[in-house]
Structure 1
Amino acid sequence: MRFKTATSPHILRETGVGQVMRRVLYAMAPGIAALAWFFGWGVLVNLTLATVVALVAETLMLAARGKPLALHLGDCSAVVTAWLLAAALPSLAPWWLTALGVAFAIVVAKHLYGGLGYNPFNPAMVGYVVLLISFPREMSTWPIPHGVGQAHVLGLPETLEIVFGGAGRLVVDGLTGATPLDVLRTQLGLGLTVTEIRNSPVFGIVSGSGWEWAALGFLAGGLWLVYIRAADWRIPAGMLGGLAAIATVFYLVDPQRYAPPWFHVWSGAAIFGAFFIATDPVTASTTPRGRLIYGAGIGVLVYVIRAFGGYPDGVAFAVLLMNIAAPTIDLYTQPRVFGARGR
């Protein structure tokens, strides 16, 4: 019997870097919309400023390296870096903080290592960690979420005045408050129990008011990326599974000292990091088993930093530490080669 065959290559549809990056931007939209609703216009201001700075820095570095501008600007990788960093920054962050972090991410963390595909560390997280270590006060001034207590909703003109330096520091301090992870860490240090701390108005149904809805938006976008196979399910499953597993162990040991696992999964940047940061195809593990190990390692490190480290959240540090381990993980988790001798 003669079978009808098609000529190679057997590719169902074209998928380039630019198309993948644009899908990441689309997937971030629900979470960013939730952030903008609860934390104000500053989220969109940060996003716009970060995008402009990223494109300018990318253009300058491409020109200095003699690379074609249209080809590399069109892949949207610089815009993705800008959005990842902007979404992680406080919505009332001063303009220079956003500009400095994005410029450092593009120039140092990306291009000084050779550009897209050669950077060993996630550029957005490098920029975030530099800002967090250098300017801890500015990086902790999140506004009180809309709907919590007497939170004042800022209009666009007021937001622009604060972001670009027209308002004093006292005005900003009067509009901001501690994040749920900050509150948990501080109050535990004062000897309060988890049950007592959860009575604070900053906490919502599962984690923090406003934060849990943003996490839900990023979860929806992340699941869509997994569904269309723009992201591998193993890394987010490993990260959230590892975080939940170690949180469950400590919660069972002392539920009044350690928060429940569902709080840790829905708090901070856990879901955002699992689907949009840890899944970076350049800096993450590439083997099937390696991706599970890589994700689980990030999840465990996030919990260790939150519970015992010096920062209330730890996604950025955990991702960078596992970026270092990714090549070794890949080396020892290579899949079996069928047909080789003895297999």
Structure 2
Amino acid sequence: MIDYEPSSGPFAHTRNSSVRIMYTVLLSLVPALLFAVYQFGVGSLRTVLVCCVVAVVTEYVCLKLLQRRTRACIDGSALLTGLLLAMSLPSTVPMWLAAMGSAFAIVVGKQIYGGLGQNLFNPAMLARVMLLICFPVEMTSWALPTPLDFSHNLITVPDGWQQFDGVTAATTLSGLAKTPDSLSSMFLGSQAGSLGETSSLLILAGGLLLLQRRIIHWAIPVSFLVGLGLPALIGHWLAPATFLSMPTQLFSGGAMLGAFYIATDLVTSPTSVRGQLLYGLGCGLLIWLIRSFGNYPEGVAFAVLIMNAASPLIDHYLRPAIFGSRSLAEK
């Protein structure tokens, strides 16, 4: 009998590749992107274009300087980073700030660690936190939606839709709104906020597509929403005047975007199902704590980065056993 030590490896293969995964995720974000342009006007489209172009160009320059294959800049990872960053920015953000954040995401959030698959933190959220700390006024100036009017069989274009600037307004999470948004407006997207954080319905539809295509696993989105929704439900039940309700916590800000697109990043999240459940619960709980007791009204980016740092530790203690290996007790 041959005595050998079993080793792990990619013994199972699928049709999915990193390029296919990246462009599938990009495709699932198209409905939310089009709705953002419809809601906030052409200024939002300019923000998206600046972030995506700067991300790809920065990726190309980094690969060129590192003497690596420059075609990797079109593998979809840089484009996805730019799009996720753009969808977490206000539509009225200055273009130089969007460009700075996109370049920071690629250089500091990705390439400094070694490129695709090596980064410890989600690049888009790392850039958002940097911008939020350095430029808090610009990053918290959300614009009121100015959607097109299709009533009376005519298309009415409001004045603000064609402008790059907009009228700023408070969000429900900021606590400054005189009348909180209704549940329907938060779920459908007719509320002030960042580009990709308004329509929870379209984000949810894109997330379900990713689940159906097995790009992401159910463990992180479900545990993420439970970790945020459960303390919100208990807190609002105990002190409704102090804590926001569970639907407001789930459908406001970047909660849905974080649950399906940010926290589920394959590189920065744990690999085992148990680890993903713990990771998602931690993200949700941290978001509720930051929103309820912190100085920032939105806590998705901070919570995800904290749990990104804990992801290697989670993997160390909750990693699945290799098939055929002996347990510690047997050894």
Query: Shared fold (TM-score greater than 0.5)?
Result: yes
Structure 1 counterpart of 2:47 = 46
The Cα offsets for residues 59-84 of structure 1, whole Å up to 9 and x where unpaired, read as: 110000000111x1231100000000
The Cα offsets for residues 151-203 of structure 1, whole Å up to 9 and x where unpaired, read as: 955244x32xx4xxxxxxxxx5xx11112211xx347xxxxxxxxx6x44x44
- d(CA) in 2 for partners of 1:215, 1:35: 12
CA contact (8 A) 2:121 2:305 kept: yes
SS at match of 2:100: helix
Where do 1:75-114 residues align within 5 Å? 75-114=75-114
> Kindly tell me: are residues 14 and 338 of structure 1, through their superposed partners in 2, closer, same or farther at Cα, counting changes over 3 Å?
closer
| Residue identity matched to 1:210 | S
The Cα offsets for residues 17-76 of structure 1, whole Å up to 9 and x where unpaired, read as: 110000010111122222222222222111111111011101110000000111x12311
| Residue identity matched to 1:240 | L
Worse-superposed segment, 31-40 or 223-232: 31-40
The Cα offsets for residues 197-228 of structure 1, whole Å up to 9 and x where unpaired, read as: 6x44x445363852486111011001110111
SS at match of 1:205: helix
Q: Is 1:178 matched up with 2:170? A: yes
Structure 2 counterpart of 1:167 = none
The Cα offsets for residues 247-284 of structure 1, whole Å up to 9 and x where unpaired, read as: 11111211222121111011100000110000111111
SS at match of 2:173: helix
Structure 2 counterpart of 1:130 = 130
> Kindly tell me: are residues 223 and 264 of structure 1, through their superposed partners in 2, closer, same or farther at Cα, counting changes over 3 Å?
same
SS at match of 2:93: coil
> Kindly tell me: are residues 10 and 57 of structure 1, through their superposed partners in 2, closer, same or farther at Cα, counting changes over 3 Å?
closer
Structure 1 counterpart of 2:63 = 62
How far residue 85 of structure 1 moved from its aligned partner, in angstroms, is: 0.1
How far residue 95 of structure 1 moved from its aligned partner, in angstroms, is: 0.6
- Name which of 187, 202, 207 aligns with 2:186: 207
Structure 2 counterpart of 1:290 = 275
- d(CA) in 2 for partners of 1:152, 1:176: 16
CA contact (8 A) 1:31 1:214 kept: yes
Structure 2 counterpart of 1:231 = 216
Structure 2 counterpart of 1:314 = 299
SS at match of 1:177: coil
How many pairs are equivalent? Answer: 304
Structure 2 counterpart of 1:216 = 201
The Cα offsets for residues 229-250 of structure 1, whole Å up to 9 and x where unpaired, read as: 0111111111111101111111
CA contact (8 A) 1:109 1:123 kept: yes
The Cα offsets for residues 69-114 of structure 1, whole Å up to 9 and x where unpaired, read as: 11x1231100000000000101111110100000000011111111
Q: Is 1:267 matched up with 2:252? A: yes
> Kindly tell me: are residues 133 and 324 of structure 1, through their superposed partners in 2, closer, same or farther at Cα, counting changes over 3 Å?
same
Structure 2 counterpart of 1:330 = 315
SS at match of 1:311: coil
Structure 1 counterpart of 2:160 = 154
CA contact (8 A) 2:186 2:198 kept: no
CA contact (8 A) 1:247 1:261 kept: yes
Unmatched 5+ residue regions in structure 2?
1-10, 148-156, 192-196
| Residue identity matched to 1:279 | T
TM (norm. structure 2) is 0.86
Where do 1:232-247 residues align within 5 Å? 232-247=217-232
- d(CA) in 1 for partners of 2:253, 2:321: 38
Q: Give the 4+ runs in structure 1 shifted more than 3 A.
A: 206-209, 336-339
Where do 1:162-173 residues align within 5 Å? 162=165, 172=166
| Residue identity matched to 1:14 | R
- d(CA) in 2 for partners of 1:94, 1:337: 50
Structure 2 counterpart of 1:139 = 139
| Residue identity matched to 2:20 | Q
> Kindly tell me: are residues 320 and 153 of structure 1, through their superposed partners in 2, closer, same or farther at Cα, counting changes over 3 Å?
farther
Equivalent pairs: percent with the same residue? 40
| Residue identity matched to 2:190 | G
- d(CA) in 2 for partners of 1:246, 1:337: 36
CA contact (8 A) 2:85 2:124 kept: yes
Structure 1 counterpart of 2:28 = 27
| Residue identity matched to 2:65 | A
Unmatched 5+ residue regions in structure 1?
1-8, 163-171, 188-196
